[in-house]
Chain A
Amino acid sequence: MTGSTGSTGALTVLRFHLRRDRMMLFWWITGNVLLYYSQAVSTDGLYTTQAELDRAAAGMESNAAFIAMAGPARALNTLGGQVAWQAAAFGAIVAALMSMFLVGRHTRAEEESGRDELVRAAAIGRHAPLAATALVVVIANVLLGVLLAMSLVSYGLPAAGSWALGLAAGLTGLVFGGVALVAAQLVESTRAAYGITGAVIGVAYALRAIGDVGNGALSWLSPIGWGQYLRPYAEEQWWPALLSVVAVVVLAVAAVMLFDRRDIGSGVWPARPGPARGSLGSASALAWRLQRGSVIGWTFGMLLGGVAYGSIGDDVEDLLGDSEFSKDMFASAGNSVVDSFYATSAVMLALIGSGFAIASVQRLRGEEGAGFAEGLLATALPRWRWAVAHLVVTLVGTVAAVLAGGLGMGLGFALVTGDGSAVLRLTGATLPYAVPVLLLAALTWLAYGIRTRWAGVGWLGLGFCFIVMMFGELLQLPGWLMDVSPFQHLAQTPAEDFRVVPVVVLLAIIAALSWLGMAALRRRDLVTN
């Protein structure tokens, strides 16, 4: 019974996996549950009367861009319908990504590092690591579904709809876990496996977007669509869950069959060889090569995010309702609500784009910590030029990402309202917000320059700016504290006229921080292992 093809020892491996994953699982699941829960809270906060909600729902139902982004509009004049609509598509993607990373980390990453060999040398069955990985994914998604449903029920939403929503999230996560498990058998590297799974997630999202806007046929080809066809809070139908279950079983069987056909450490598809000769000849070329994927991804993502904001068009007033919260958030500039809304949206986009800027600077820390910098800096490449090469990518990428966000917003707005001049106006209004983003990047750089471990300060800075912007008024933070956020000092374009002085002052601060960061980096020891 302890045959070499069995899954003997799977439970031992599983326990080990769960021990390693507990923090990761906690954050992914909590984050995703909060994503849904916060929709309930914010919808409640935004619309104080049913009449407001009805008005907003009418606007949303007729907005094709919204439907393409979120899903079919069902029961939008109920709280549950709003939660399901706003969160389900993104929640499904988050669940899918969680499954993908869980699978990658326990299959390909382990084989690449050689740790898998160590485990396999123990008295465990051939299929035990695979089975343990699958079990981790099942446990994670069941936990997600159950906690999600329970949190929404506890908020006071109808039980059937809440469980349908939880089931949808969990099942979608499982299906993409199956996809990831198959991908992990096909290719040799973790990265490539993520690439395949990510592409399948993207295609599934696109299929349901096109399907939902059109006659719905294509949505039935998408696992994300299957989840949404459970119709949470809108006369639930349960049978589409079977589609997901069948898909999970088929994918799991396929993964096992593929696994049996390959050697440990290699994929069904042989690894693609790279070029025998290199074209990289400078630190800048290398920095771009290392960061281009992230620059392109973020720029594209910011464009889509911008379209999401822009496609709200000038229905802003209806959507926002009359609550105090929305007045606080959007009407503070005292100008037209539409312009104020887009000023806030531009800051929002810039805050999101800060994620790129900070991560891009931290790339230096990654290169240094991984030991890549050691070999590089032993060549005739001066330390400062190595750093500048990466920082230039940060600068260009940040401006590109923020510009793309503004452009997307303008395009979305122009498409919905037919006002073509909005493209330039909103792009121009968003661009200045790249400056405070760069300030956060400069802060990260200075911290990194002094001590690599301090580079995380950038995220603290971003968190602070975010809290000031979202809750500063609400929490009645003292003025001087709010003024620490660089975003507070810019003119709130497009609601206000652009002002040059704050931008120049911020640029001067950025220059000073950058200079200090360079001075610090040139004085300290390189981190080596």
Chain B
Amino acid sequence: MKRCIVGSMDSVIDITGLVKRFGHTTALDGLDLQVARGEVHGFLGPNGSGKSTTIRVLLGLLRADAGRVSLFGQDPWRDAAALHRRLAYVPGEVNLWPNLSGGEVIDLLGRLRGGLDEKRRAVLIERFELDPTKKSRTYSKGNRQKVALVAALSSDVELLILDEPTSGLDPLMEAVFTDCVDEFRDEGSSVLLSSHILAEVERLCDRVSIIRAGRTVESGTLADLRHLTRTSVSAELVESPSGLDRLTGVHDLVVEGARATFEVDTDHLGAALEALGRFGVRTLTSQPPTLEELFLRHYGEDVSS
């Protein structure tokens, strides 16, 4: 049956080889991105790496120069308006008409999206502690984001596209946001979440894609990605170790007497521990790579090479 094309059937978003140029600058240079139905997908990358551009192509606001982009199996440029009934978007920079109140904007966006859930609207306004009677010009950045979030989350949609949606929220509101996204996923819907807040990504995302300079450099579950990176190990041994530097995958080795610290490619962690065992282990601390290290490694690659 059609089930054989598993990727495209289960993908809400399926992008391969996307290229987007602005004049002479190439913003996206063969980007790939797959978001499966029902998953929260983290979309990570340094500033200017093309996250927002990708999202705008997905929304049919920008036109792809090359590559294949499919949203719910359809072309987001040609079928933009119809597809938009099934998704809600929170832009990174929320700009609202200064003389409309927050409540007016929420209702306007909701209606244009094809109606919003009244009950959810009321609950969300309560939870985000938003005053909907204030004119948009008086809202802070965080409050403008809340307006867009309430409008998006109270719509009955299958996909949320969020571009750094919490950059202006305080930690309390961020927690509310996290809960809301969890609930949204529990209903079987999908989320594309571009973010810089790693704790948020770690807490929410099933899978992540990391992009750099308009290209996808890594994609997978967090566990997958951790696998690709290094664990730091620090051990106190009975006797002074030797030959550790000959092990494959070991980096930055420092041996001081019976003490050894090093970083090891997570794939070779087992071999390294075995080697340590031969010298008698008194204490051992090993730290899995944090998401932050993961990012720094990918973001910073250009600098080191």
Interface of chain A residues 237 through 292 with chain B (CB within 8 A): 271, 273-283, 286, 289-290
CB <8 Å contact, B80 and A278 = no
CB <8 Å contact, B95 and A374 = yes
Counting CB contacts under 8 A, is A457 at the interface?
Answer: no
CB <8 Å contact, A278 and B107 = yes
CB <8 Å contact, A375 and B91 = yes
Interface string of A497-529 (1 = CB under 8 A from B): 000000000000000000000000001111011
Q: Which of B82, B94, B138 contacts A380 (CB 8 A)?
A: B82
Q: Given A280-B107, A286-B108, A374-B61, verify A273-B81 contact (CB < 8 Å).
A: no
Residue of A nearest to B59 (CB): A378
With both chains docked as a complex, state the minimum distance between the C-beta of B124 and any C-beta of chain A, in angstroms. 13
Q: Which of B81, B99, B114, B161 contacts A382 (CB 8 A)?
A: B81
CB <8 Å contact, A525 and B62 = yes
Interface of chain A residues 20 through 76 with chain B (CB within 8 A): none
Counting CB contacts under 8 A, is B180 at the interface?
Answer: no
Counting CB contacts under 8 A, is B85 at the interface?
Answer: yes
Q: Which of B56, B84, B91, B103 contacts A274 (CB 8 A)?
A: B103
Instruction: Compute how far the CA of A279 lies from the CA of B112 in the bound complex, rounded to whole angstroms.
Output: 12
Residue of A nearest to B132 (CB): A276
Instruction: Compute how far the CA of A383 lies from the CA of B80 in the bound complex, rounded to whole angstroms.
Output: 9
Interface of chain B residues 38 through 87 with chain A (CB within 8 A): 52, 56, 59-63, 80-82, 84-85, 87
With both chains docked as a complex, state the minimum distance between the C-beta of A310 and any C-beta of chain B, in angstroms. 35
Residue of A nearest to B87 (CB): A378
Contacts of A289 in B (CB 8 A): 100
Interface of chain A residues 167 through 223 with chain B (CB within 8 A): 188-189, 191
With both chains docked as a complex, state the minimum distance between the C-beta of A469 and any C-beta of chain B, in angstroms. 37
CB <8 Å contact, A280 and B95 = no
Contacts of B98 in A (CB 8 A): 189, 191
Counting CB contacts under 8 A, is B298 at the interface?
Answer: no
Instruction: Compute how far the CA of A379 lies from the CA of B106 in the bound complex, rounded to whole angstroms.
Output: 12
CB <8 Å contact, A271 and B84 = no
Q: Given A188-B138, A271-B138, verify A375-B148 contact (CB < 8 Å).
A: yes
Q: Which of B61, B81, B133 contacts A526 (CB 8 A)?
A: B61
CB <8 Å contact, B84 and A380 = yes
CB <8 Å contact, B94 and A375 = yes
CB <8 Å contact, A372 and B112 = no
Interface of chain A residues 461 through 495 with chain B (CB within 8 A): none
Consensus secondary structure, chain A interface: loop
Interface string of B148-165 (1 = CB under 8 A from A): 100000000000010000
CB <8 Å contact, A274 and B104 = yes
Counting CB contacts under 8 A, is A112 at the interface?
Answer: yes
CB <8 Å contact, B63 and A283 = no
Counting CB contacts under 8 A, is B135 at the interface?
Answer: yes
Instruction: Compute how far the CA of A480 lies from the CA of B250 in the bound complex, rounded to whole angstroms.
Output: 82
Contacts of A150 in B (CB 8 A): none
Instruction: Compute how far the CA of A191 lies from the CA of B137 in the bound complex, rounded to whole angstroms.
Output: 10
Interface string of B98-124 (1 = CB under 8 A from A): 111111111111011110000000000
CB <8 Å contact, A280 and B62 = no
CB <8 Å contact, A282 and B95 = no
Contacts of B113 in A (CB 8 A): 379-380
CB <8 Å contact, A380 and B104 = no
Q: Given A280-B108, A281-B107, A379-B109, verify A275-B101 contact (CB < 8 Å).
A: yes
With both chains docked as a complex, state the minimum distance between the C-beta of B229 and any C-beta of chain A, in angstroms. 34
CB <8 Å contact, A371 and B61 = no
Chain A interface residue count, Cβ-Cβ cutoff 8 angstroms: 38
CB <8 Å contact, B96 and A372 = yes
Q: Which of A188, A278, A280, A371 contacts B91 (CB 8 A)?
A: A371
With both chains docked as a complex, state the minimum distance between the C-beta of A330 and any C-beta of chain B, in angstroms. 44
Residue of B nearest to A281 (CB): B111
Counting CB contacts under 8 A, is A377 at the interface?
Answer: yes
Q: Given A112-B137, A381-B81, A525-B62, verify A274-B100 contact (CB < 8 Å).
A: yes
Q: Given A274-B101, A275-B104, A371-B93, verify A189-B133 contact (CB < 8 Å).
A: no
Instruction: Compute how far the CA of A529 lies from the CA of B48 in the bound complex, rounded to whole angstroms.
Output: 12
CB <8 Å contact, A278 and B108 = yes
Instruction: Compute how far the CA of A381 lies from the CA of B148 in the bound complex, rounded to whole angstroms.
Output: 16
Contacts of A147 in B (CB 8 A): none
CB <8 Å contact, A381 and B104 = no
Interface of chain B residues 206 through 234 with chain A (CB within 8 A): none
Q: Given A271-B135, A380-B114, A382-B81, verify A278-B104 contact (CB < 8 Å).
A: yes
With both chains docked as a complex, state the minimum distance between the C-beta of A334 and any C-beta of chain B, in angstroms. 51
With both chains docked as a complex, state the minimum distance between the C-beta of A288 and any C-beta of chain B, in angstroms. 13
Residue of B nearest to A376 (CB): B112
Q: Which of A273, A283, A376 neighbours the largest number of chain B CB atoms within 10 Å of its CB?
A: A273
Counting CB contacts under 8 A, is B89 at the interface?
Answer: yes
Counting CB contacts under 8 A, is B282 at the interface?
Answer: no
Counting CB contacts under 8 A, is A296 at the interface?
Answer: no
Instruction: Compute how far the CA of A275 lies from the CA of B132 in the bound complex, rounded to whole angstroms.
Output: 8
Residue of B nearest to A370 (CB): B95
Contacts of A374 in B (CB 8 A): 56, 61, 91, 95
With both chains docked as a complex, state the minimum distance between the C-beta of A142 and any C-beta of chain B, in angstroms. 33
Instruction: Compute how far the CA of A283 lies from the CA of B109 in the bound complex, rounded to whole angstroms.
Output: 10
Contacts of B112 in A (CB 8 A): 281-283, 376, 379-381
Q: Given A282-B112, A375-B89, A379-B109, verify A528-B56 contact (CB < 8 Å).
A: yes
Instruction: Compute how far the CA of A282 lies from the CA of B96 in the bound complex, rounded to whole angstroms.
Output: 16
Instruction: Compute how far the CA of A127 lies from the CA of B113 in the bound complex, rounded to whole angstroms.
Output: 48
Contacts of A526 in B (CB 8 A): 56, 61-62
With both chains docked as a complex, state the minimum distance between the C-beta of B16 and any C-beta of chain A, in angstroms. 21
Contacts of B101 in A (CB 8 A): 273-276, 278
Instruction: Compute how far the CA of A115 lies from the CA of B87 in the bound complex, rounded to whole angstroms.
Output: 36
Residue of B nearest to A529 (CB): B93
Residue of A nearest to B84 (CB): A380
Contacts of B96 in A (CB 8 A): 372, 375
Counting CB contacts under 8 A, is B297 at the interface?
Answer: no
Residue of B nearest to A190 (CB): B137
Instruction: Compute how far the CA of A383 lies from the CA of B134 in the bound complex, rounded to whole angstroms.
Output: 29
Contacts of A382 in B (CB 8 A): 80-81
Given A274-B102, A274-B134, A283-B112, 16 other A-B residues pairs in contact with their CB atoms under 8 A: A275-B101, A275-B103, A278-B101, A278-B107, A280-B100, A280-B111, A282-B111, A286-B108, A372-B97, A375-B95, A378-B84, A380-B85, A381-B81, A383-B81, A523-B63, A525-B63
Show 7 A/B contacts (Cβ-Cβ < 8 Å), sorted by A.
A189-B135, A278-B107, A280-B111, A290-B97, A375-B109, A377-B59, A378-B88
Question: Can you list the 3 inter-chain pairs with the closest CB atoms, starting with the nearest?
Answer: A274-B101, A278-B104, A278-B107
